[in-house]
Amino acid sequence: MFDAEVVCKKIFKAVYIARMMRNSLEPVAYIHIKAGKTAFVGANEMYDNFARLKWDSPLSTADLEISLDPGLPDNSLEIEFVENFFDDEKRADKYEVQEDDRRIVF
């Protein structure tokens, strides 16, 4: 069963761990996610839950970017990569989360 709050906590934890392992203090801009049908249908609920979860945390600047992937099972999503902010002088720093945290099944 899809529970947006539980899914968002798993996303938050995966990205937080990846950020800390990189010793990065740069603000996260986007968390890119591919979603199966059920997760994609619940995208608005995930946006809302993640906004509440990230409040006043090291990931407070992060936004979810969720796209439908018909190749994924309906009851799963996959964190593709994390992207930090960038400007005209610096390209976006992109990185992946740990392999064990990449796919979330509910």
Q: CATH number of the domain at 8, please.
A: 3.30.2320.50
What would the pLDDT profile of 13-59 be if each residue is shown by its tens digit? 999 999 999 998 889 999 999 999 999 999 999 999 999 999 999 99
Q: Which two tokens stand for residue 87?
A: 């400007």
Residue 104 lies in a domain: no
pTM to 2 decimals? 0.94
Between 86 and 80, residue with greater pLDDT: 80
Q: Which domain holds residue 33?
A: 4-98
Confidence (pLDDT) at 88: 74
Show the tokens assigned to 8.
């968002």
Query: Considering Cα of 72, then 103, then 27, then 49, what sign does the dihedral take?
Result: positive
pLDDT at 89 over 80: no
| 106 lies in some domain | no
90 assigned to some structural domain: yes
State whether the Cα torsion 13-19-20-26 is positive or negative: negative
Q: Are 74 and 40 in contact (CB under 8 A)?
A: no
Q: Of how many residues is the chain composed?
A: 106
Could you give the number of structural domains in the chain? 1
